[in-house]
Amino acid sequence: METKYLTQTELHTAACLLKEGALVGIPTETVYGLGANGLDEAAVRGIFAAKGRPQDNPLILHIPSADWLQRYCRDIPPAAYALAERFWPGPLTMILPRKACVPDVVTAGLDTVGVRCPDHEVCRQIIRLADVPVAAPSGNRSGKPSPTRVEHMREDMDGRVDAIVDGGPCRVGVESTIIDLTCTPPRLLRPGGITLEQLREVLGQVEIDPAVVRGMKAGEKPRAPGMAYRHYAPEAPVTVVSGAPEKTAAYIAQHAGEQDGVLCFDEYIALFPVQDSRRQVKYLGPSGDKGAQAHNIFDALRAFDHTKVTAIWAQCPDERDIGLAVANRLNKAAGFRIIEV
Ligand code: AMP
Ligand code: MG
């Protein structure tokens, strides 16, 4: 199929396409999503086909405001409204019991559904105009780094979807935080733009799902099915080096081969001269600016796929604030191959 590229003045076209059952790449503040009418089973199946996504990995329903929650969820606890009040629109997905109108294909047969209200005016406008919830996972081909620019969507989805809406680069750069409100205490299933510290301010106690911090063992099933899969990975294998930034930079400078890729904090540029080598160096952002690191991480990981590197070494922030999300994406890209120095 030929993919149409839509601008921000063509949101009616995007909304009509969605309503008619088409697949549309849509910008959000986290990453670009691959959207379909979340009540149209056939359209949602198209998402799995276009991404090559395993059928047992459920999708998130995107809504334009919290007052749509009751349409798709039941037994909604007060905590859900407290979180919506504080963090929506924004990068937070809540897992809640679903109503029967949500097709099985969206939830992969689970009796819960993930719901989020994105903080991107273009995205909310499209959903409002379509007047249907938009089921959307990240718009990358399954396993690849998530798309944070329209060019990434073109790389992965050109010819596989009906349209892609250009909403500019994504502000946050990592996917939404996922909080499961169907268990006590609530459980963090995926770290993202809303931090664990912020969630605890509203919810008190929050547990961290083991899949956030370590790889799953054979046969082990995480509560967020997507966390079981290899993810976010460029073609070359990644090794994360974790510890104080000056130590990790020194370790990588000692161990990286002349033709390897290096993903480092901006301050360590001088340790990795590129003039005389075929080394590829990408910058994650200043070591003290984890927001910048989140914004850059997928673009940097993706950029290695346009090079010939056969191994990638990455510095990694500590896990406070949005560092937990950056570290999680890096560790998953590395298949949890982590060297502590
Ligand atoms: P993606 O948007 O590609 O990052 O994928 C959505 C993520 O949300 C996946 O990791 C899913 O496992 C997770 N997710 C969606 N719905 C549910 C649910 N009902 N329960 C647990 N996790 C979910
Ligand atoms: Mg994804």
d(CA 64, ligand 2 centre) in Å: 21
Averaged pLDDT, 163-178: 98
CB under 8 A, 24+ apart: contacts of 65-68: 65/89, 65/117, 65/124, 66/117, 68/133
What tokens were used for 6? 């839509």
Q: Express each pLDDT in 248-268 by its tens digit.
A: 999 999 999 989 999 999 999
Helix (H), strand (E) at residue 156: helix 150-157
Q: Express each pLDDT in 55-112 by its tens digit.
A: 999 999 999 999 999 999 999 999 999 999 999 999 999 999 999 999 999 999 999 9
- What pLDDT shows up at residue 215? 85
Query: For atom 21 of ligand 1, which residue has the closest CA?
Result: 224
d(CA 140, ligand 2 centre) in Å: 7
d(CA 57, ligand 2 centre) in Å: 10
Which ligand has the shortest distance to the CA of 222? 1
First to last CA, the chain: 49
Nearest ligand 1 atom to alpha carbon 137:
2
Domains along the chain with CATH numbers: 4-212 (3.90.870.10), 238-340 (3.40.50.11030)
95 within ligand 1 shell (Cβ under 6 A): yes
Q: In whole angstroms, what is the distance from residue 101 CA to residue 225 CA?
A: 21
Under 8 Å between Cβ of 158 and 174? no
Name the average pLDDT for the chain. Answer: 96
d(CA 34, ligand 2 centre) in Å: 10
**pLDDT higher for 233 or 319?**
319
d(CA 122, ligand 2 centre) in Å: 20
Give Rg (Cα) of the chain.
20
Compute CA distances 290 → 52, 161, 202, whole Å.
31, 33, 22
d(CA 253, ligand 2 centre) in Å: 31
Averaged pLDDT, 108-137: 98
CA dihedral 237, 242, 247, 249 (to 10 degrees): 30
Nearest ligand 1 atom to alpha carbon 176:
4
CA nearest neighbour of 295 among 164, 146, 178 = 146
pLDDT band at 218 (very low <50, low <70, confident <90, very high): confident
Query: For atom 20 of ligand 1, which residue has the closest CA?
Result: 224
Which ligand has the shortest distance to the CA of 59? 1
pTM metric for this prediction: 0.97
pLDDT band at 221 (very low <50, low <70, confident <90, very high): confident
58 within ligand 1 shell (Cβ under 6 A): yes
- What pLDDT shows up at residue 278? 80
Q: Which one of 142, 189, 232, 298 would you pick to mutate in the ligand 1 pocket, going by the greatest count of ligand atoms within 8 A of its CB?
A: 189
CA nearest neighbour of 37 among 14, 58, 55, 11 = 14
Amino acid in position 322: I
d(CA 137, ligand 2 centre) in Å: 6
Nearest ligand 1 atom to alpha carbon 53:
3
Q: Which one of 28, 32, 60 would you pick to mutate in the ligand 1 pocket, going by the greatest count of ligand atoms within 8 A of its CB?
A: 60
- What pLDDT shows up at residue 276? 61
Helix (H), strand (E) at residue 240: strand 238-242
189 within ligand 1 shell (Cβ under 6 A): yes
Instruction: Give, as one character, the DSSP assignment of residue 305.
Output: G
